[in-house]
Amino acid sequence: MSKEEGAIHKQFHYFPGTRFMGSKSKIIDQIWKRLNKVEFNTVLDAFGGSNVIGYFLKCHGKKVITNDFLTFSYITSKAIIENSFENITEKDLSVILKSNSNNGFIENTFKDIFYSLEDIQFLDTARQNISELNNEYKKAIALAALVRACVKKRSRGIFTFSGERYNDGRIDMQKTIKEHFKESIKLFNKAVFDNGKKNKSYNKRTELLKVKADLVYLDPPYFTPNSDNDYTRRYHFIEGLVKNWEGLIIQEHTAVKKFESYKSPFSKKDTVYSAFDQLFEKYRNSIITISYSSNSLPSKGELKEMLGKYKSKVTVHEIDHSYSFGNQNHKIGNPNNRVKEYLFIGR
Ligand SMILES: C[S@@+](CC[C@H](N)C(=O)[O-])C[C@H]1O[C@@H](n2cnc3c(N)ncnc32)[C@H](O)[C@@H]1O
């Protein structure tokens, strides 16, 4: 490994990851092996998710633009991709941890659903204090760290069921959210660095975004006819936490107090084809790369043909990959059913 590669590797090591459905963290080296052969300086990660791809490319010196319609994804990107200098100091931390007389919204709404009373009272306190930070990047770090703490303290990292089902007694489940939060702040502080570029994070529906980039990376939810790819349903609690539930209408009759999922054209068969086509047309002057899987629609052949309408050279790379959780759970262990991950590159 060269000295430069060593420095990149070291910085990437600071990425404060958690479980995220469809995260590319396990196959990032295989993706990079292909993208590294393509020339580009600016990149749009149009469906950022955990932001592992955007952060990786920031480490590689690219000007990175990220987008996701989930605000907690956006805030994480703002904290460590757009932000190059701000940190949470000890003084900031003491402001966030100080006691206050908050309205107890989280306690009143989510008592006995996901966390202990001690944990949710901490969330009410911290959430209010974070609102009062007056620097947008400090606020982003604090919120991203709070989200990470909540995910760490949640079995399987999702919010679709109440109680502690799947609690395997691992150490993360034994710590308080406050402990996770303090650890996460340290990790996020370390992840902040300057790559000399003006990186930018967006929080829009990708259909409505229009930015310029040499290379566009598309990793939308994979549409499979028999399972849902609804990110809001899985992550509603941390999304609500970041937005302070402002503008969200909680469905009071639901056991986990979720709100109505954000609509995505990538979640329905009758809209997924045109959604891809519109993105291809919009970014026809950029190199277009797509991650998609073999058990999803459009099929490999269909997607290749659709991309070929706008790009003269389309290559498809196969990456062997079993998901650890999410839509493909039932396929794990059956070698005949191994889901293949594809990387399409259209030039
Ligand atoms: C497969 S995940 C991306 C995973 C990401 N590449 C990673 O490695 O973590 C898909 C993401 O698309 C987002 N998403 C779905 N529909 C969207 C839309 N219409 N506009 C913007 N984001 C959308 C979801 O919130 C989710 O974070």
For the chain, what are the domain ranges? 11-346
Query: How far apart (Å, rounded) are the C-alpha atoms in residues 215 and 9?
Result: 22
- Which residues are registered as beta bridge partners of 32? none
Q: According to the model, what pLDDT value does residue 325 have?
A: 44
Q: According to the model, what pLDDT value does residue 328 have?
A: 45
Query: How far apart (Å, rounded) are the C-alpha atoms in residues 344 and 294?
Result: 12
| 224 CA → ligand 1 middle, Å | 15
Residue nearest to atom 18 of ligand 1 (CA): 205
Query: How far apart (Å, rounded) are the C-alpha atoms in residues 218 and 130?
Result: 32
- What is the position in ligand 1's atom list of the atom closest to the CA of 232? 25
Within 6 A (CB) of ligand 1 lie 20, 22-24, 47, 49-50, 52-53, 68-70, 73, 205-207, 219-221, 231, 264, 266
| 208 CA → ligand 1 middle, Å | 14
Instruction: Name the residue of 68, 234, 271, 327 to mutate for ligand 1: max ligand atoms within 8 A of Cβ.
Output: 68
CATH number of 11-346: 3.40.50.150
Q: Which residue has the tokens 């990387």?
A: 343
- Non-local (6+) Cβ contacts of 319 within 8 A are 27, 30, 31, 340, 341, 342, 343
- In angstroms, what CA-CA distances link 240 with 38, 84, 199, 248? 38, 26, 26, 7
**Token pair listed for 199:** 């990186």
- pTM for the structure as a whole: 0.95
- In angstroms, what CA-CA distances link 314 with 155, 226, 317? 40, 29, 10
Three-state DSSP state, 224: strand
- What is the position in ligand 1's atom list of the atom closest to the CA of 220? 10
Three-state DSSP state, 160: coil
Query: How far apart (Å, rounded) are the C-alpha atoms in residues 78 and 72?
Result: 10
| 49 CA → ligand 1 middle, Å | 5
- CA max distance for the chain: 62
- What is the position in ligand 1's atom list of the atom closest to the CA of 73? 27
| 99 CA → ligand 1 middle, Å | 36
Q: According to the model, what pLDDT value does residue 323 have?
A: 52
Candidates 264, 285, 283; CA nearest to 275 is 264
| 220 CA → ligand 1 middle, Å | 5
* Residue 24 neighbours by CB distance under 10 Å: 22
- As averages over each run of 10 residues, the pLDDT of the chain (347 residues) reads 87 95 96 97 98 98 98 98 98 98 97 97 98 97 98 94 80 95 98 98 97 98 91 98 98 97 96 98 98 95 98 94 50 61 97
- In angstroms, what CA-CA distances link 235 with 134, 229, 240, 329? 27, 12, 9, 18
- What is the position in ligand 1's atom list of the atom closest to the CA of 275? 19
Instruction: Name the residue of 31, 50, 69 to mutate for ligand 1: max ligand atoms within 8 A of Cβ.
Output: 69
What distance lies between CA 333 and its chain's CA centroid?
A: 26
| 227 CA → ligand 1 middle, Å | 16
Q: Which residues of 95-113 are buried (b: 16+ CB within 10 A; e: fewer)?
A: ebeeeeebeebbbebbeee
- Which residues are registered as beta bridge partners of 43? 64, 215
